[in-house]
Structure 1
Amino acid sequence: MSILHYLKYFLFHVIGLSALVAIVAGGSSIPLGLVAILGLYLLGDAIGGDDVSTPTFRHPGILTFQLWLALPLLALIVFASVWSVCTADVLGVGAQVTQLTGYDVLAARNATSMSQHLAGIVLTGLMIGMIGTITAHELTHRTWDPVSMLIGRWLLAFSFDTTFAIEHVYGHHRYVSTRDDPATAPRGRNVYLHVLISTIRGNASAWLIEQKRLQREGRSVVSPRNAFIRGHLMSVVLVAAAWSAGGLAAAGYFVLCGLAGKALLEIVNYMEHYGIVRDPATPVQPRHSWNTNRRLSSWTMFNLTRHSHHHAQGEVPYQDLKPFQHAPMMISGYLTTIVVAMIPPLWHRLMTPKVLAWDRDFATPAERQLAAEANLRSGMRAFHARGQHGI
């Protein structure tokens, strides 16, 4: 097999390093870096076509080690971003970079405006979501591998979302596309409301899952064995580290970056499952989530795009996921679909016909009845008309 099939997944690291350079360079480099990365995805997915290749990897250990490298990469990006709002030259990093490159990063940092720091929050949040959550999503599914689980949970700690390792694996995959799943957005829901509702319900679900696990083991819920509590303490450690670097301003800045990363996850949940219904008595099938095979998104997001296969077989490593070309398809690649989701009128205009087509082409008779009920609850005229007259 061509080495290119291994190298294509390292584009993920190239994008992360590009963000790191933009943040350290400071000033206008930060918003320019953000625009460049967004433009790369929007244009790349628009013209790059689909990747439906299914190579067999003879050395999967290389790809696992690559996933582990996400933790030091994300730590560097977040450190650089927090450093950018500190008054002191933490660990002398600025002086060292200036000496090595001849570019005065301390002067650039001092000249960085508030609007440019806001771009830094968005860029860092994007990296926390992509390098942190996407990689952690893959790693925390590997429940048989304690190293991957540990690295995955630390990656999630940057977005205050270590509960994802509990709720997503043991809750979301069981209840996906039903009303019991916090991450599945019902028809008509606004994406911004979904971020709030899914976050609250997801944490509540994770607590209950962990509570039941500890009770089965005969352990106290409030104990060092509680992964829910331990996970949030991991995030507290990161906030404390930011505080020690630059006081309240640095800690607050880090919190905003982490919350941006968490919001990005919930936006992704929104677009991956919006409007799809499932008969709880029916096993999860590829038709129960939105899929995409856009090349750039697939290569730089560890085949998260092949979401339909992932939900049908959650334990399959990312490199072995199949494209499932006949599954329900998203609007485009991930970043493009995220941008559309953040513009609710455009989202509903494009997605309502897709959801109604899903009812017609993919739903079972029982699911068509559930869809009709969901249409009536949606509060949207386009769905409501279908709900009144059936599917």
Structure 2
Amino acid sequence: MKIFHYLKYFLFHFIGLAALAGITIGGPAVSYMVLAVLVIYILGDALAGDDTSTPEFNHPQILTFQLWLALPLLSAIMFASVWSVCDSDVLGYGALVQQLTGIDVLTARENTAIWHHFSAFIGSGLMIGLIGTITAHELTHRTWDPISMLIGRWLLAFSFDTIFSIEHVYGHHRYVSSKDDPATAPRGRNVYFHILASTVKGNISAWKIEKKRLQRKGYAVFGPRNAVIRGHLMSVLLVAIAYAMGGLVAAGYFLACMLWGKALLEIVNYMEHYGMVRNPETPVQPRHSWNTNKRISSWAMFNLTRHSHHHAQGEVPYQDLKPYPEAPMMISGYLTTIVIAMIPPLWHKLMIPKVLEWDAKYASDEELELIREANANSGIKAFEESVITDNALQAKTA
């Protein structure tokens, strides 16, 4: 059974290869691929239950290599995706596929309807988020490993988000669940506003962090050592490659996929810490993140689901994260919760009781005072009229 614990993380790669096949074949196949991804994650999490196992891994280098494989896999997926909207057979890709499989993908591409191209856009953005950002999240925490850092930043370049390797590691992890954290959504915030607000404030935060680092080391802020500038140029280079493949249509399509992938990250940020409060001068505890142990999400997302332990100890590799079943729990697995977050009325209906439960069950004395302010500013009647904080404060101080 020990080998199974290594193999289970290849579910991630299987999903990526399925996406590559669907996008390449085109037509209805790409729409079926997107539907299959949704079914695997959403229905799989609903039926497969939780994974709270904590096996020991004697060969962690295998797990690291699995992470590194994300870069060639995502590169292939996005090449095929951009190729699918090009007029020419870039690098003879279609001819090669037909030679190897007998499938006439060039004719299929010509006959692909617009709604199937839209499915390719949705699926490509999902792959940027699931294969690119999630893997990069793990790799860019490994600040001691230059290879992992390089691969992680290139994965982030596919969503114009290399600043994540700066702001997330050195900003978000310090200020998480506080008003000073751009990625933490306050009570009452709409997810679509959060995508914009967190993106803008996150870039500003990353610039300030990088500027301070450069000045401390005596380097010019506007120079080749600036990781923010270099990172955005990496993304520009990828757009330029798309332009070389198929002109403005290909570049515009790829840029749209990149921005959709970036939006997915901010939706995940939204749901991972929504409504929580913390004094940034106090230690981060497992209770300051929404957690989930859903089996399929855990296997296909390198234990990103075990977010409570990750924030309590950000340097711990994904395979060693503990499930913390006593931590505050998300609505369901990640993709299910993403879909719910994109429907604000449903999100608030399901999350308001969870946030109020967090107030009563997890908040410290100091945080109860922060909750009063958060509720008053939420614009949501259920929070504004909440008496849980009053009762909880009386119980804690009695």
- Structure 2 length-normalised TM: 0.97
Report the secondary structure of 2:283's partner residue: coil
Opposite residue 79 of structure 2, the aligned amino acid is F
Opposite residue 134 of structure 1, the aligned amino acid is I
Alpha-carbon distance between aligned partners in 2 of 1:386 and 1:62, rounded to the nearest angstrom: 50
* Counterpart residue number, 1:223: 223
Opposite residue 234 of structure 1, the aligned amino acid is M
Equivalent pair of 1:372/1:388 in contact (CA under 8 Å): no
* Counterpart residue number, 1:363: 363
* Counterpart residue number, 2:282: 282
Report the secondary structure of 2:93's partner residue: helix
Alpha-carbon distance between aligned partners in 1 of 2:384 and 2:326, rounded to the nearest angstrom: 27
Deviation at 1:365, TM superposition (A): 0.8
* Counterpart residue number, 2:160: 160
Alpha-carbon distance between aligned partners in 1 of 2:273 and 2:118, rounded to the nearest angstrom: 30
Question: For residues 201 and 95 of structure 1, do their structure 2 counterparts lie closer, same or farther at Cα, with a shift above 3 Å needed?
Answer: same
* Counterpart residue number, 2:99: 99
RMSD: 1.0
**Once superposed, which parts of structure 1, at least 4 consecutive aligned residues long, lie more than 3 Å away?**
387-391
* Counterpart residue number, 1:298: 298
Opposite residue 322 of structure 1, the aligned amino acid is K
User: Please, which runs of 5 or more residues in structure 2 have no aligned partner?
Assistant: 393-398
Equivalent pair of 1:173/1:311 in contact (CA under 8 Å): yes
* Counterpart residue number, 1:240: 240
Question: For residues 144 and 273 of structure 1, do their structure 2 counterparts lie closer, same or farther at Cα, with a shift above 3 Å needed?
Answer: same
Alpha-carbon distance between aligned partners in 1 of 2:333 and 2:323, rounded to the nearest angstrom: 13
Q: Percent identity?
A: 71
Please list the CA deviations of residues 263-307 of structure 1 after superposition, one character each: whole Å capped at 9, or x if unmatched: 000000000000000122320000000000000000000000000
Please list the CA deviations of residues 104-156 of structure 1 after superposition, one character each: whole Å capped at 9, or x if unmatched: 00000001111111111110000000100000000000000000000000000
Equivalent pair of 1:172/1:182 in contact (CA under 8 Å): yes
Opposite residue 205 of structure 2, the aligned amino acid is S
* Counterpart residue number, 1:182: 182
* Counterpart residue number, 2:76: 76
Question: For residues 388 and 130 of structure 1, do their structure 2 counterparts lie closer, same or farther at Cα, with a shift above 3 Å needed?
Answer: closer
Equivalent pair of 1:292/1:333 in contact (CA under 8 Å): yes
Alpha-carbon distance between aligned partners in 2 of 1:40 and 1:248, rounded to the nearest angstrom: 34
Opposite residue 121 of structure 2, the aligned amino acid is I
Instruction: Kindly indicate whether residue 127 of structure 2 is the aligned counterpart of residue 127 of structure 1.
Output: yes
Opposite residue 132 of structure 1, the aligned amino acid is G
Equivalent pair of 2:291/2:306 in contact (CA under 8 Å): yes
Equivalent pair of 1:376/1:383 in contact (CA under 8 Å): yes
Deviation at 1:8, TM superposition (A): 0.2
Equivalent pair of 2:177/2:273 in contact (CA under 8 Å): yes
Deviation at 1:389, TM superposition (A): 7.4
Deviation at 1:374, TM superposition (A): 0.1
Alpha-carbon distance between aligned partners in 1 of 2:295 and 2:388, rounded to the nearest angstrom: 40
Report the secondary structure of 2:86's partner residue: coil
Equivalent pair of 1:159/1:258 in contact (CA under 8 Å): yes
Deviation at 1:2, TM superposition (A): 1.4
Alpha-carbon distance between aligned partners in 2 of 1:386 and 1:373, rounded to the nearest angstrom: 12
Give the total of aligned pairs.
391
Alpha-carbon distance between aligned partners in 1 of 2:382 and 2:274, rounded to the nearest angstrom: 15
Alpha-carbon distance between aligned partners in 2 of 1:317 and 1:32, rounded to the nearest angstrom: 34
Alpha-carbon distance between aligned partners in 2 of 1:158 and 1:149, rounded to the nearest angstrom: 15
Correspondences of 1:1-391 after superposition (within 5 Å): 2-386=2-386, 390=390
Equivalent pair of 2:176/2:280 in contact (CA under 8 Å): no
Alpha-carbon distance between aligned partners in 1 of 2:171 and 2:257, rounded to the nearest angstrom: 26
Report the secondary structure of 1:3's partner residue: helix
Equivalent pair of 1:373/1:387 in contact (CA under 8 Å): no
Opposite residue 150 of structure 1, the aligned amino acid is L
Equivalent pair of 2:359/2:389 in contact (CA under 8 Å): no
- Structure 1 length-normalised TM: 0.99
Equivalent pair of 2:9/2:299 in contact (CA under 8 Å): yes
Alpha-carbon distance between aligned partners in 1 of 2:345 and 2:139, rounded to the nearest angstrom: 35
User: Please, which runs of 5 or more residues in structure 1 have no aligned partner?
Assistant: none
Please list the CA deviations of residues 188-231 of structure 1 after superposition, one character each: whole Å capped at 9, or x if unmatched: 00001100000000000000000000010011100000000000
Equivalent pair of 1:22/1:30 in contact (CA under 8 Å): yes
Equivalent pair of 1:304/1:318 in contact (CA under 8 Å): yes
Equivalent pair of 2:368/2:389 in contact (CA under 8 Å): no
Report the secondary structure of 2:386's partner residue: helix
Deviation at 1:43, TM superposition (A): 0.6
Deviation at 1:387, TM superposition (A): 7.1
Opposite residue 52 of structure 2, the aligned amino acid is V
Alpha-carbon distance between aligned partners in 1 of 2:302 and 2:389, rounded to the nearest angstrom: 42
Equivalent pair of 1:372/1:386 in contact (CA under 8 Å): no
Alpha-carbon distance between aligned partners in 2 of 1:77 and 1:2, rounded to the nearest angstrom: 31
Opposite residue 309 of structure 2, the aligned amino acid is H
Alpha-carbon distance between aligned partners in 1 of 2:106 and 2:246, rounded to the nearest angstrom: 15
Opposite residue 60 of structure 2, the aligned amino acid is P
Report the secondary structure of 1:129's partner residue: helix
Equivalent pair of 2:139/2:152 in contact (CA under 8 Å): yes
Alpha-carbon distance between aligned partners in 2 of 1:368 and 1:306, rounded to the nearest angstrom: 25
